[in-house]
Amino acid sequence: MLSIKELNQFYGESHTLWDVSVDISQGSCICLMGRNGVGKTTLLQSIMGLLPIKSGSIEFNGTTISGKAAEVRAKLGIGYVPQGRDIFGQLTVEENLRVGLSVTGRHTRAIPEQIFELFPVLKDMLHRRGGDLSGGQQQQLAIGRALTLNPKILLLDEPTEGIQPNIVQQIGDIIIKLNEEQNITILLVEQKLPFARRVGKNFVIMDRGRNVAQGEMSDLSDKLVQQYLTV
C-alpha cells in the first residue's frame, strides 16, 4: 500500500537518504532498524511529508503523495508517532486527542472509547496538560492521538523509548492488536531487538542512509545484526 522508490533526501548540502526503496504491503508490520543516525527518523519524516525530498517517489494506495502536504497525507490515512512524542504541551490530554478529530469534521463527537481501552491512563488524566505528563504517559498519548485519525498505516518512531517495561509490553500487544485486529499497517522504528522480534513480521535495515537488508523477521540473522546493528 505504501511504496517508496529511489528516495533521496538532503539536509542542506548533506545527503542523508540514498536511493531508499521500501515496499510495504497492506496489513504488514515492518520493523525498521539501524544504528543511530542512519536516517530512520528522516525516512519517516519524509514519508509523512515533514521534510522535503530531493528525488524519488512515495506512493500510497496507488496515488503519488510525494508532492502533497503533510496534512493531506495525514488525512489520507497515515498516522505518525514521532520520536520524542511531540505532545501539544499546553493542550489538555483531551484537546490533544481532539486535534485529530477536528480535522475530520468529527470534532464535536466523543473521543473513541477504544483509545481509552488501550490507554486507561489517558482517561484519568483527561484534563491534565499534555506537557505535564511523564514521558511514558506522553508516549501513550502520542499513539492515542495518532489513532484518532483512523489511520490505515501507522508510523511509529521508537515508541518504547523511555517507557516502563509493562507498558512496553502493552504497547507491543497493542501494536500487534492494531495490526491484526484492525488491520492497520505498521511501520515501526525500533532499536530493541527483542521487542522488534516480537512485534514485527518483517524487517528493514538501514545503514548510512541506505536500505541494506530486508526480509521476514525470522530471517533476521545474527550476522545481519552483527553487521548493521552493532557498533
Partner 1 sequence: MRRDKVFDFVEQKRLPFSGRRTVIPGEIDVTHGPILYLENISVSFDGFKALNDLTLYINDGELRCIIGPNGAGKTTMMDVITGKTRPDTGSAYFGQTMDLTRMSEYQIAHAGIGRKFQKPTIFPQHTIFENLELAMAADKRVWPTLFAKINTAQHEKIIEVMDTIGLTELCYERAAQLSHGQKQWLEIGMLLMQNPRVLLVDEPVAGMTHQEMDKTAELLKSLAGKHSVVVVEHDMDFVRSIASTVTVLHEGSVLAEGTMDEVQNNPKVIEVYLGE
Partner 2 sequence: MTLSSRKNIQILLSLIFIAMLSAGYSAAALADSIEPKTETSVAIVISFEVATASLTAGSYSDREQVIKKLYTVDDERVLPVLQQMLKSKLYYIKKTKQLVFIKKIDGSYKTTSILNNEDAGLFEKNKLKKVKVNNKLRRLLRGYIAQLGLKSTDDAVRKAAVKQLLKNINAETIAVLQVLDKKETNSSIKELVAAGVSIWNLSSNDKATQLASIKALSKSLVPEVKLKLQEIIEDTEDATIKKAAISSLKKIDSKISIFGFLENLVFGLSLGSVLLLIAVGLAITFGVMGVINMAHGELMMLGAYTTFVVQQMLPNHITASIFISIPLAFLVAGAFGVAIERFVIRYLYGRPLETLLATFGISLILQQLVRSVFGPTNQAVQTPAFMSGSLEINSIFAITYNRLYIFIFAIVVLLLLMLILKKTRLGLQVRAVSQNRTMAKAMGVKSEWVDAMTFGLGSGIAGVAGVALSQLTNVGPNLGQAYIIDSFMVVVFGGVGNLLGTFVGAMSLGVFNKFLEPWSGAVLAKILVLVFIILFIQKRPRGLFPKKGRGVED
Partner 3 sequence: MARQPFIVDFLKNDKGGKIFVSILLVTMFVVPALNLLVPADSFFHVPTYTVTLLGKYLSYAMLAIALDLVWGYCGILSLGHAAFFALGGYAMGMYLMRQIGDRGVYGNTELPDFMVFLNWTELPWYWQGFDMFWFAMIMVILVPGLLALVFGWLAFRARVTGVYLSIITQALTYALLLAFFMNELGFGGNNGLTDFKDILGYDLQADTTRVSLFFLSALFLILTYFLCRFIITSKLGRVVVAIRDAEDRTRFIGYKVESFKLWIFVLSAMIAGVAGALFVPQVGIINPGEFSPLNSIELVVWVAIGGRATLYGAALGAVIVNYSKSYLTAAFPEVWLFALGGLFLLVTIFMPKGVIGLWNQMRLKLQGKKQPIAENKIE
Ligand X SMILES: Nc1ncnc2c1ncn2[C@@H]1O[C@H](COP(=O)(O)OP(=O)(O)OP(=O)(O)O)[C@@H](O)[C@H]1O
Query: Which chain residues interact with partner 2 by CB under 8 A?
Result: 48-50, 69-71, 74-75, 80, 82, 86-91, 95, 98-100, 102-104, 107, 129-132, 145-146, 149
Candidate segments 20-28, 43-51, 166-174, 203-211, binder of partner 1 by CB under 8 A:
166-174
For position 150 contacting Mg ion by CB under 5 A, the verdict is no
From the list partner 2, ligand X, partner 3, none, partner contacted by residue 13 (C-beta under 5 to 8 A by kind): partner 3
DSSP calls for the chain: -EEEEEEEEEETTEEEEEEEEEEE-TT-EEEEE--TTSSHHHHHHHHHTSS--SEEEEEETTEE-TTS-HHHHHHHTEEEE-TT----TTSBHHHHHHHHHHHTT-TTSPPPHHHHHH-HHHHHTTTSBGGGS-HHHHHHHHHHHHHTT--SEEEEESTTTT--HHHHHHHHHHHHHHHHTS--EEEEE---HHHHHHH-SEEEEEETTEEEEEEEGGG--HHHIIIII--
Distance of CA 168 to the CA centre of its chain: 15
Q: Which does 88 bind (CB under 5 to 8 A by kind): partner 3, partner 2, partner 1, none?
A: partner 2
Least separation in angstroms between residue 150's CB and partner 2 is 10
- Residue 152 interaction partner, one of ligand X, partner 2, partner 1, none, beta carbon < 5-8 Å per kind: none
Contacts with Mg ion by CB under 5 A: the residue count is 2
Would you give the binding string for ligand X spanning residues 109-138, x where CB under 6 A is met? -----------------------xxxxx--
Residue 14 binds partner 3 (CB under 8 A): yes
Query: Which residue's CB is nearer to partner 3, number 14 or number 108?
Result: 14
2, 8, 9, 11: which one binds partner 3 (CB under 8 A): 11
Which residue ranges make up the site for partner 3 (CB under 8 A)? Answer: 11-14
Chain positions contacting partner 1, by CB under 8 A: 11, 14, 35-37, 41, 83-84, 128, 132-137, 139, 158, 161-170, 191-193, 229-231
